[in-house]
């Protein structure tokens, strides 16, 4: 019986469907036709039906809640890509009748406490891990706890059941080919922080792409500490002060690229003419920077949805999807890599 006194059987009689079909429709199951699902849900609302969520969860021995701990250093340094991922995950969870428990915390002891508290107390049915790291304790911990999880970003762990990640190798090849076409010969790369596996993927892809073009020089910036504009500025100033100044800079994140642009402009260089700049992620700010930023686009919102769907299948014990969904990025060409360009 629902909390409002109206039962699923009552609704079934009115709409002319079986109680099982009504139950599935109220829980948002995809095997019920969308029109039928909407009709049943509307009738339930009109009849004053209120699901007994606590009883349903107790019966299933599940919380119907997913956990997401965003590695945010501070409110001022919030990553727009993480916000897009959050939107995709939240929309998917809501569609399937799940809640999303979100925490923000810088990597460290407090972050570990959050994972332990949520997993040990059984407050979530599974986690979505973002920005996988080298020797990622989060994966080791969840494996030990036998807690379901998916990752957004490739991992170096054989135990990871499912992940959604971007083909960085393909993306960097596109960038290098474009910069060479623009006549650039000395290309520098600002890597993500070394603790992120994304940094390793970028490094290997950059070396491989440069090796295909013997006449092109490649160099790396100093290590960055986070994915921020401030770090982009710091790394770029070091590159400009070096003996072999680059004529193109690739950054592993759009925020870093925007900081790199600001640093070069502050030193009197014209972006798109003296130095080409390319970012990663295609955040909204990229299109409205001055000049607009050439960047590697990834469908961030959809990646969040796909990771959520994979996790829900694992939790439900359904047949698993392929171990990884690999996203092919594409280069969005704007004026920061050539002032005469506009696509």
User: Taking all residues of the chain, what is their mean pLDDT, rounded to a whole number?
Assistant: 89
Residue 230 has, within 13 A of its CA and on its CB side, a CA count of 5
pLDDT at 328 over 70: yes
Contacts of 341 (CB under 8 A, 6+ apart): 182, 272, 294, 333, 334, 335
Q: Any idea which of 88-97, 178-187, 317-326 has the lowest mean pLDDT? A: 317-326
pLDDT at 181 over 50: yes
Q: Give SS3 for 279.
A: strand
pLDDT at 4: 52
**What is the dotted CATH code of the domain comprising 168-298+331-337?**
3.40.50.2300
Residue 223 has pLDDT above 80, yes or no: yes
DSSP type of residue 138: H
**Read out DSSP for 151-198?**
EES--S-TT---EEEE-HHHHHHHHHHHHHHTT--EEEEEPPPTTBHH
pLDDT tens per residue, range 28-74? 776 788 888 888 888 888 888 766 544 454 344 567 999 999 988 76
Alpha helices in 17-96 (DSSP H): 19-26, 34-46, 53-60, 80-95
Q: Which residue did the predictor score with more confidence, 156 or 236?
A: 236
Q: Which residues contact 85 (CB under 8 A, 6 or more apart)?
A: 130, 152, 300, 301, 303, 304, 307
What is the pLDDT, as a whole number, of residue 320? Answer: 65
The reply to whether 65-166+300-328 shares the fold of 8-60 is: no
The CATH classification number of 65-166+300-328 equals 3.40.50.2300
Of 49-58, 71-80, 159-168, 279-288, the one with minimum mean pLDDT is 49-58
Say what the pLDDT of residue 340 is: 85
310 within 8 A of 318, measured Cβ to Cβ: no
Sketch the domain layout of the chain as residue ranges.
8-60, 65-166+300-328, 168-298+331-337
- Rounded CA-CA distance 309/325 in Å is 12
Bigger pLDDT: 75 or 264?
Answer: 264
- 125-131 mean pLDDT: 95
- pLDDT, mean of residues 321-337: 90
Domain 8-60 in CATH: superfamily?
lambda repressor-like DNA-binding domains (1.10.260.40)
Percentage of the chain modeled with pLDDT above 90? 66
pLDDT at 162: 86
Instruction: For the beta carbon of residue 187, count every other beta carbon within 10 angstroms.
Output: 24
Model pLDDT, residue 75: 62
What single DSSP character describes residue 214? Answer: T
Residue 265's CB is within 10 A of a number of other CB atoms, namely 17
Average pLDDT, integer, range 180-192: 96
Has residue 3 got a pLDDT over 70? no
Q: Which position has the higher pLDDT, 320 or 40?
A: 40
């Amino acid at each position: 019986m629902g909390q409002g006194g109206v039962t699923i059987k009552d609704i079934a009689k009115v709409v002319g469907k079986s109680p099982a079909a009504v139950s599935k429709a109220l829980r948002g199951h995809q095997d019920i036709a969308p029109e039928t699902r909407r009709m049943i849900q509307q009738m339930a609302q009109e009849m004053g039906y209120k699901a007994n969520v606590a009883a349903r969860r107790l019966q299933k021995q599940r919380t119907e809640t997913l956990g997401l701990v965003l590695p945010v250093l501070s409110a001022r340094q919030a990553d727009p890509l993480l916000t897009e991922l959050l939107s995709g995950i939240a929309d998917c969870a809501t569609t399937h009748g799940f809640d999303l428990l979100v925490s923000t915390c810088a990597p460290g002891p407090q972050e570990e406490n959050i994972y332990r508290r949520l997993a040990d107390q059984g407050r979530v049915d599974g986690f979505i891990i973002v920005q996988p790291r080298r020797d990622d304790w989060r994966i080791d911990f969840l494996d030990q706890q036998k807690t379901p999880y998916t990752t957004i970003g490739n991992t170096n762990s054989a135990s990871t059941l499912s992940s959604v990640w971007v083909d960085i190798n393909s993306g960097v090849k596109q960038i290098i080919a474009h910069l060479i076409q623009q006549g650039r010969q000395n290309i520098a790369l600002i890597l993500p922080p070394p603790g992120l596996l994304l940094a390793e993927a970028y490094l290997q892809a950059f070396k491989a792409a440069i090796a295909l073009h013997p006449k092109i020089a490649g160099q790396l910036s100093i290590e960055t500490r986070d994915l921020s504009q401030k770090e982009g500025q710091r790394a770029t100033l070091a590159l400009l002060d070096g003996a072999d100044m680059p004529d193109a800079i690739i950054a592993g994140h759009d925020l870093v690229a925007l900081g790199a642009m600001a640093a070069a402009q502050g030193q009197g260089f014209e972006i798109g003419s003296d130095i080409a700049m390319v970012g990663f992620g295609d955040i909204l700010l990229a299109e409205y920077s001055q000049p607009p930023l050439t960047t590697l686009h990834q469908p961030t919102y959809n990646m969040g949805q796909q990771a959520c769907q994979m996790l829900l299948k694992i939790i439900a014990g359904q047949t698993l999807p392929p171990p990884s969904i690999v996203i092919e990025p594409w280069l969005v060409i704007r004026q920061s890599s050539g002032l005469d360009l506009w696509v």
